[in-house]
Amino acid sequence: AQSVTQLGSHVSVSEGALVLLRCNYSSSVPPYLFWYVQYPNQGLQLLLKYTSAATLVKGINGFEAEFKKSETSFHLTKPSAHMSDAAEYFCAVSVNTGNQFYFGTGTSLTVIP
């Protein structure tokens, strides 16, 4: 079975500071990993995905994530936070033996001016 754990349901950073949102996964087979962003009262938008190519994945809005198999992690980072980054972020895992995704419980990012 697959699952993801997002450490920290709420993260606050100052504008211009590093953003680090943590995601650890559990999977018995090679995983495919995704980060989605959700703005208030909106659906989820794909930020980036890892599909077994490069371990460092770049996404939209300056975000990137690194797949680390030894740590079973897929943390999301951004060097400099903008006010517009304030949103909820979800990590998700899938595998190529089915079409279901398993989502983490989300991390709410607050950016302090």
Partner 1 sequence: DGGITQSPKYLFRKEGQNVTLSCEQNLNHDAMYWYRQDPGQGLRLIYYSQIVNDFQKGDIAEGYSVSREKKESFPLTVTSAQKNPTAFYLCASSTLDSPWFYGYTFGSGTRLTVV
Rounded to a whole number, what is the distance in angstroms from the first to the last CA of the chain? 41
| Contact call for residue 24 and partner 1 (CB under 8 A) | no
| Contact call for residue 101 and partner 1 (CB under 8 A) | yes
User: What mask of x and - would describe binding to partner 1 in positions 37 to 56, judged by CB under 8 A?
Assistant: ----xxxxxx--x-x-----
User: What mask of x and - would describe binding to partner 1 in positions 55 to 94, judged by CB under 8 A?
Assistant: -----------------------------------x-x-x
Could you tell me if 58 and 47 are in contact, meaning their C-beta atoms sit under 8 angstroms apart? no
Show the DSSP H helices in 32-110 as ranges.
none
* Beta carbon of residue 51, minimum distance to partner 1 (angstroms, whole number): 5
* Beta carbon of residue 57, minimum distance to partner 1 (angstroms, whole number): 13
* Beta carbon of residue 36, minimum distance to partner 1 (angstroms, whole number): 8
Which distant-in-sequence residues (6+ apart) come within 8 Å of 57 by Cβ? Answer: 48, 49, 50, 64, 65, 66, 67
- In the block, residue with structure tokens 């009262």: 41
Closest CA to 82 of 37, 23, 17, 30: 17
Binding region for partner 1 (CB under 8 A): 9, 32, 34, 36, 41-46, 49, 51, 90, 92, 94-96, 98-101, 103-106
